[in-house]
Amino acid sequence: MSIALPASLANGRYEIGQLIGRGGMAEVHTALDTRLGRTVAVKIMRSDLTNDEIFLSRFRREAHSVAQLNNPNIVSIYDSGEEVLTDEAGNQERVPYLVMEYVKGQTLRAIIKANGALSQRDAEQVMIGVLNALEYSHHMGIIHRDIKPGNIMISEQGIVKVMDFGIARALDDSAATMTQSQGVVGTAQYLSPEQARGENVDMRSDLYSAGCVLYEMLTGRAPFNGDSAVAIAYQHVSEVATPPSAIVPGLPKMWDSICAKAMAKDRQNRYATATEFKNDIMAFMNGGTPVAAAFNPLTDLANMRARKAAEQEAATSTLSPIDEATAATQAFAPLSESGQQLAGVAAQTATQARTRKAEQDAKKRKKKIVISSIASALVLILVALGAWSYLNRDKRDMAAVPEINAQMSKLLAKEKITAAGFQYAEESDPDSAEPEGTFTKQSPKAGSKVKKGSTVTVWFSSGPQSTKIPDVKNLTQEDARNKLEKAGFKVSPSASIEDAGDVDKNRVTRTDPASGQSAPKGSSILLYISSGMTKVPDVANKKQDDARNMLQRFTVTIQKQHSDTVAKDMVISSDPAAGTSIAQGSMITLTVSDGMSLKDVTGKTLSDAKSLLGGVKITVNGPSDDNSVVTGQDPKPGSTIDKDKDTVTLTTKEGAVAVPTVEVGKTTLGEYQQKLSAAGLSMNVTGPTDSSALVQSASPQGNVTKGSIIKVITVNPSSGSGSNPSQNQSPNPNPSSGSSN
C-alpha cells in the first residue's frame, strides 16, 4: 500500500517539511506550526502499520507517557492526532501522528560514531543530563526501558534531550529484542540482565542501560558485542565487562567502579536511584570519593551465581539407626547345709537388708515421681506442639500469587503460576479493549497468600469489540472523556482547538472519528474543543430576515443605504466582513439596501439614459431609437425605487443626428446619399445628379435635427475638385429637380 504524504496536517495547521529521520515504525519530518509560527518535528506512523493494534498502542503510549512529562532534558510532545489519507487504490487509512519539540542537533550515537570516545568532562555533562531526565521520569512513575545513544539528542547549544519514551523506535535497530508476547523490552547492547531473563523491570533497569551508555562514551564502544542479540544478552547476564581503563590508557580507574556499580548483575547492588548515580559522578569529578569506590564486580557476579544456584539446590540429611542394649544375667548357687548354722546371723542381716531396701525403695519412688512429673510435662509440651502443628498445617501450605503483566505471553504466564505451586486456568475477556491475547486481569490478585495447589485464573483479551462512538458535542472536555472511556474508547491526551459558531468556548465541538460511527473498543478518539471564536458567515445578497436567522448567535444591527446594484431589503455587506474570526456573541452590522435612488436622465439620449439607470425596467413614450432625447421621466429624479420591481417611464423626442462628412474628390453622390438616408436626412443637389458624381461639399455640418435637408454640391468625375460647379449645374431651373432623399 502506498500513501502519499499530504502537504499539511490538522486542517493546514502543520505544513510538512523535509524528512529528518526514518525508523521501522515511523518517519519524522520538520513542520511549521502556522498557528504559533514555530518549527516543530512531526512523527508520522508508517501507513502500512496503521491496522496493527500493537504498533498503534505503542505509538499512543508514547504520546500518553511523554505528555505527562515536563522537563528540559526530555523532548516535549505538543500535540497528537490522526489524519485520513487515501492510497493509490482509493482506500482511506487513519494515520496517527505526534507533534514534538524540534531539537536541532545530533544523536549521541552519531557523535560517538563520528568522533569516537568523549572526554571525561563531556561524558559527565551528557550523563548528568540523561540522569536528570530519568530522575524526573522515575519520579513520575515512568520507566523508559530503552536508554541508548540513539535515543539521546545533543542540541546545538549542548542541551541533552532524552526521547522515544514508549519504545516507538524499537525496530530501528537489528539488535532490538522482544518477549514471547512480542513486547519490546529494549536494545540488546544496552539491555539489563533482568530484561534479558524476561523478568519485570524497574527504574534500576534504566540505570543499568545508562551505565552502558556511560561506558560507551568513555571507551567509544559498547560494553558487550556479539553476532546476535541472544549472544549479547547472554553476556549481560553472565559476564563482567572489560574495565574502561583497560581499553583507554590513562583513564582513571574510578570510572571502572562507577560503570561496574551501575552495571551490577544484581539490581540490589546497583545505584538505587538516578539521583544517587548522578551524585556519585559529580563527587568524583569534583575530587571526592564516590560510593562506587568499594564496589567489586567479580564479587557481585559470584554472589549472583551463588544465589541462583542456592535457589535450585535443596539440602537433605539422614539419621543413623540406634542399636539396642542387651541385659546381662547372673546365676546364684543353692544354699548348703553348712550354711544353715549361719541362719541367725543371716536373719539379722536380712532385717538390716530389708531396712536398707525400704530406704532405697523410698528414694526410688521419689525419683520415679520426679521423672514422671518431667515426663508428664514433656508429654503435655509435645501434645501442645502437635496441636499447634495441626492447627497451622494450612499456613505452611500457603504461597504468594505471582504477578502477571501485559508483556507476558500465555505460555510464560502458565509457567510462572505452575512454578509457584498453583493450578493454572485461562479465560477470555470479551470486554477488554486491548489487542487479542493481551493479559487483562487475574484472580486471586498478585501478592495475595493462598493455599498451594489452588487455582489461579488469568484472563486474556479476546480482542476489542466494535461499538458506536457516542455524541459528546457541547459537553465539557472532562465529561466527554468520561463518556467515551465508559463506552470502551481511549481518548487522545491532547485535543485540537477550532472555531465553532454553535458551541460555547471550552466545550467539545466534535470527535474524530465522528460520533455515530462504529469503531473497535480501545480505539483512540481525538476531541475538538471550541476556541470561543467563530467566523462571520457570508450573508451578502441575502434577504434581511434570512441574514438575521443565520446570525442568531450574534448581536445584529441594521443600517440602510441606497444601492444601484443590490435590490431593496437585500444585504449589501457586513461589518466585520465575511470570513473574519470574532468572539461568539459579538456585534455585527449589516448594511441593507433601501432601494435605488433614481438618477436625472432628462436631456440625455435614450442610450445614455438606459446606461445610467442600470437594470431598471424602462418604458418609452416617444421615439425609441438610441439617439432620441429624454425630455421627461416618471418617477421624478431622486425618488427611491426597487430596481427589481418598479418601472421608469421616459418621455422622448427626436434627437439630433450628425451630418455625414465628405472626402472631397473621393465621395460619390451615390455613397453620400446612402449615408444621409441612414442618418434620416435628405439632400438638395447642386450640380450633376448621377450617382458617380463627386461630392464637392455638404452643408450644414455637425448635428442637425432628424429629417433636415442637406445642401450638396457635386461635380463631374472628370472635372475634379477644381471644376466650376456652375458649368455642371443641371439645366432644370426647378430646385426640386435636384433634391433627393
Cell 487479542 maps to which residue? 436
Query: What is the dihedral sign for C-alpha 448, 453, 454, 460?
Result: positive
- Nearest CA to 74 out of 171, 139, 170 is that of 139
Residues at the annotated binding site? Answer: 43
Could you tell me the sign of the dihedral formed by the alpha carbons of 259, 218, 206, 301, in that order? negative
* CA 148 from centre of chain: 24
Do 211 and 123 form a contact (C-beta atoms < 8 A)? Answer: no
Question: Rounded CA gap, 717 and 699, in Å?
Answer: 20
Which residue type is seen at 569? D
Task: Please state, in angstroms and as integers, the Cα–Cα distance from residue 601 to each residue in 116, 324, 469, 564, following that order.
Answer: 93, 153, 67, 15
Task: Please provide residue 735's backbone torsions phi and psi, each rounded to the nearest 5 degrees.
Answer: -60, -30
Spatial distance between the Cα atoms of 591 and 145, rounded to a whole number of angstroms = 65
Place of cell 469503531: 519
Closest among 449, 644, 462 to 564, alpha carbons compared: 644
- CA dist., res. 172 & res. 118, Å (int): 24
- Cβ neighbours of residue 231 closer than 8 Å, sequence gap 6 or more: none
What is the β-pairing status of strands 38-45 and 26-33?
antiparallel
CA dist., res. 165 & res. 142, Å (int): 9
- Amino acid residing at 622: G
**Rounded Cα gap, residues 213 and 135, in angstroms:** 16
Q: Which residues are catalytic?
A: 146
Grid coordinates belonging to 333: 548357687
Q: Cβ(84)–Cβ(92) under 8 Å?
A: yes
Query: Collapsing DSSP states into helix, strand and coil, what is residue 424?
Result: strand
Element containing residue 304 per DSSP (H, E): helix 297-312
Binding residues for ATP: 43
Sign of the dihedral through C-alpha 557, 561, 563, 568: positive
Q: What is the rounded distance in angstroms from the CA atom of residue 479 to the CA atom of residue 435? A: 26
